[in-house]
Chains A and B, each alone.
Chain A
Amino acid sequence: MPDTLIQIRDLHFTRAHKKIFAGVNMDIKAGRITAVMGPSGTGKTTLLKLIGGQLKPDQGEIQVDGQNVHQLKRADLYKLRKKMGMLFQSGALLTDLNVFDNIAYPLREHTNLSESMIRSMVLIKLQAVGLSTAHKLMPAELSGGMARRVALARALALDPMMIMYDEPFTGQDPISLGVLVKLIQDTNHALKLTSILVSHDVEETLSIADEVIILSEGKVIAEGSRDEILQSQSEWVRQFVDGKADGPVPFHYPGDSIEKQLMQAPK
């Protein structure tokens, strides 16, 4: 296995006339947990979708496991995606299937396992996320936090080589939050996964991340191991890690200042 699983070079991406990435470079190391942090709306979700090949960059390239994601043929892209798990911000469970069938779905689609094998695998994954008794529930009957955990079980179903977590911690109560943090760490180590963890929860994220990348305004503003980031003296990093609204990272969506807007007569 190469040392770097994902290599991003000179990534540019524009969405609805808004420049989201302007020359991003990053290396995600195999077998480690890399946290990607940044203010809301910097394009963290967009980055994961670019890595998964759901969006195409304007310029630059993304290599996953030595393959350029955006030059693959469809069949090869699909083959690669089977090795990438992704946990969506909303969970993205299929609402017309119950919890069990949701987790069984990728197994039924991509393997020829017998129903009894699938059953054991699904129950094991559900047990791992602490929901083994919930397999008959429909997604609408789950809380946001439970849905996220079911989605995690589904993302792990095919035993991927990497997994991308989009905000896994939001909406979790303190207990399941603790469980989830541990779960992400344990699955990463036990299954030798590569994990990309997108999150705002600085404390939880930094407690398990090996590497940290901070994004702001289309650029990587800091990267390094967790300890390097924690000890960094850079104003940017300090502001983010300590959670201050004022500082070099703008908290507000770019545009006219509030003073200016208040002075303008309504149109």
Chain B
Amino acid sequence: MKALINMLTRLGRGSLFLIKILAGIPQLFLRFNLVIRQVYSVGVQTLLIILVAGLFVGMVLALQLHYTLTTFGAEDTLGLLVDLSLVRELGPVVAALLFAGRAGSALTAEIGLMKATEQLSGLEMMAVDPIERIIAPRFLAGFLSLPLLAAIFSAVGILGGYMVGVDLLGVDSGAFWSQIQAKVDFYDDVLNGVIKSIVFGFIVSWIAVFEGYDCVPTSEGVASATTRTVVHSSLAVLGMDFVLTAIMFN
């Protein structure tokens, strides 16, 4: 019971916090360089791991699917299946999980440390709103970066699938691409995938900045807030993915 009340009060605080962040976002268009700097540190940090993971996921997908497809003599649809799995599902979800682990945890730790070292209080006493100057740019940067990272993940994954499917397993290159061109629907598949990654970007960034801002300002406080960011945002992403998939593809 106590845990439930705790959870609800945190949710309430988190929502109020979100409203304050959103109220600070219009201001940011005047100082867009703040956001660009954060996109650099949030997005670029994560880029390498996204590239490597995307490539491997694509290659594994091609191997697994090829094995099943050959039993039905349907290797030609390999490209299509790889593409759909990535764009609809794995791109947004895996990119969001990696993003939570790499960028989300870093965001929480950074903001938490700023709180623990009184930098946030210092800003307040300088009559600068830390939510406007520190939190909102980071939130917006996370929100903008994830859809791009997910798109890169899917693109690299398809290349990985091509490398394994066409170069290694001998699927026809023309069939690989033409199936994709013919059967992938822009609205149903691509756009829905993009919407997913926008939603995930919102959730992960929100959780990450809130955990940092709300943490107990000590070393252990920052450490446990960082862990919570990764655990909660991963669970939230997977749960939301089920909900969104159920809505979109039925």
**Partner of A110 from B118, B119, B127 at Cβ < 8 Å:** B127
Residue of A nearest to B110 (CB): A96
Q: Which residues of A contact B114 (CB under 8 A)?
A: 95
Q: Which residues of chain B from 36 to 92 have a CB within 8 Å of any chain A CB?
A: none
CB of A230 closer than 8 Å to a CB of B = no
Q: Which residue of B lies closest to A82 (CB)?
A: B127
Ordered by A's residue number, 26 sampled pairs between the chains whose C-beta atoms are within 8 Å are A52-B125, A54-B121, A54-B125, A79-B127, A81-B125, A84-B125, A86-B122, A88-B122, A88-B125, A89-B118, A90-B117, A92-B118, A92-B121, A92-B122, A93-B119, A94-B119, A94-B123, A95-B113, A95-B119, A105-B126, A105-B128, A109-B126, A109-B128, A110-B127, A151-B122, A158-B126
- CB-CB under 8 A from B121, the residues of chain A are 49, 54, 88, 92
Residue A251 at the B interface, CB < 8 A? Answer: no
Complex CA–CA separation, A106 to B122 (angstroms): 11
Q: Which of B113, B117, B127 contacts A92 (CB 8 A)?
A: B117
Among residues of B, the one whose C-beta sits closest to the C-beta of A48 is B125
| Given A94-B119, A95-B117, A95-B119: A86 and B125 interface contact (C-beta under 8 Å) | yes
Q: Is B124 an interface residue (CB 8 A)?
A: yes
Kindly report which residue of chain A lies nearest to residue B117, judged by CB atoms. Answer: A90
Contact of A81 among B117, B119, B127 (CB under 8 A): B127
Measured CB to CB, the nearest residue on chain A to B123 is: A94
Number of interface residues of A (CB under 8 A): 23
Q: How many residues of B contact A (CB 8 A)?
A: 14
User: A100: shortest Cβ distance to chain B, in Å?
Assistant: 16
Known A54-B125, A106-B128; further 20 A-B contacts with Cβ < 8 A: A52-B125, A54-B121, A82-B126, A86-B125, A88-B122, A88-B125, A90-B118, A92-B121, A92-B122, A94-B123, A95-B113, A95-B114, A95-B117, A105-B126, A105-B128, A106-B126, A106-B127, A109-B126, A110-B127, A154-B126
Shortest C-beta distance, A87 to chain B (Å), equals 9
Q: Across the interface, which residues of A come within 8 angstroms of B113, CB to CB? A: 95
- Binary contact readout B179-218 vs A (1 if CB under 8 angstroms, 0 otherwise): 0000000000000000000000000000000000000000
Per the bound structure, the CA–CA distance linking A182 and B4 in Å amounts to: 56
Q: Among B118, B124, B126, B128, find the residue whose CB has the most chain A CB atoms closer than 10 A.
A: B126
Interface contact tally, CB-CB below 8 A: 51
Interface centre among B117, B119, B125 (most CB of A within 10 A): B125
State A89–B118 Cα separation when bound (angstroms).
9
Q: Which residue of A lies closest to B116 (CB)?
A: A90
- Give the most central of B127, B128, B129: most A CB within 10 Å: B127
Minimum CB–CB distance from A177 to chain B (whole Å) comes to 22
Contacts of A82 in B (CB 8 A): 126-127
Q: By the criterion CB–CB under 8 Å, are B127 and A78 in contact?
A: yes
Contacts of A78 in B (CB 8 A): 127, 129
Taking CB atoms, residues of chain B closer than 8 Å to A52 are 124-125
- Which residues of chain A in 69-120 are interfacial with respect to chain B, using CB atoms and an 8 Å cutoff? 78-79, 81-82, 84, 86, 88-90, 92-95, 105-106, 109-110
